[in-house]
Chain A
């Protein structure tokens, strides 16, 4: 498998795993504060703000692990090289990711507007960020395998 495909597949799996583990940790960390109207904004804001650097660091660690495994197996692709196809795929992935995040925000706003508790707004934002990354990486893998 080509390095880019390996990286996309690893990111996809790591997003699923990290998101699930982090959701559990956030729930243990904040508990019922996530669901009470008075405390939900701060608890969710903290949970979401911490999740973003966690995701970035995890992706970096996963990339380094994938690269090490790839090189150990004799792979020759240059990991620092980014060409026009990578940029085109990245641009499409970013567009989809931002649309999913926006959709999550709108779904959260819609839920609150419909009378659901405030925490649904943050559920929408958090789900959008997580799902955006998962969908983006899946799309990236598909584009590397099937082309643009």
Chain B
């Protein structure tokens, strides 16, 4: 899925998707649910929290 397609599905800008992907922006819980729903997975499958996430390893 492209960043543009994900942005459209989640109802946010491509800028926000890029920032979330690179760990530069921590999405709200609502947006996290919308992104997970766009992929058809659970939130805990789409996102992780821990040392790897702090280093920019968020999905």
- Which residue numbers of A lie inside 8 Å of B, CB to CB? 2-5, 76-78, 81-86, 144, 146-148
Give CA–CA (A68, B25) in the complex, Å.
28
A107 CB, nearest partner CB in chain B, Å? 34
Interface residues in B1-17 by Cβ distance below 8 A to A read 4, 11-16
Residue of A84, A144, A148 touching B31 (CB-CB under 8 A): A84
Q: Does B27 sit within 8 A of A, measured CB to CB?
A: yes
The DSSP consensus for interface residues of chain B is: loop
Is A4 touching B24 in the complex (CB atoms < 8 A)? no
Pairs A–B under 8 Å by Cβ, sample size 21:
A2-B13, A2-B18, A3-B15, A4-B13, A77-B14, A78-B13, A83-B11, A83-B12, A83-B13, A83-B16, A84-B12, A84-B27, A85-B13, A85-B16, A85-B19, A146-B24, A147-B22, A147-B24, A147-B25, A148-B19, A148-B26
A115 CB, nearest partner CB in chain B, Å? 48
Residues of A within 8 A of B4 (CB): 76
| Given A4-B13, A148-B24, 13 more pairs with CB closer than 8 A | A2-B18, A76-B4, A83-B12, A83-B31, A84-B12, A85-B13, A85-B25, A86-B13, A86-B16, A144-B19, A147-B19, A147-B24, A147-B25
Residues of A within 8 A of B11 (CB): 81, 83
Tally of contact residues, B, Cβ under 8 A:
17
Give CA–CA (A5, B31) in the complex, Å.
21
A148 CB, nearest partner CB in chain B, Å? 5
- Of chain A, the residue at the smallest CB distance from B10 is A83
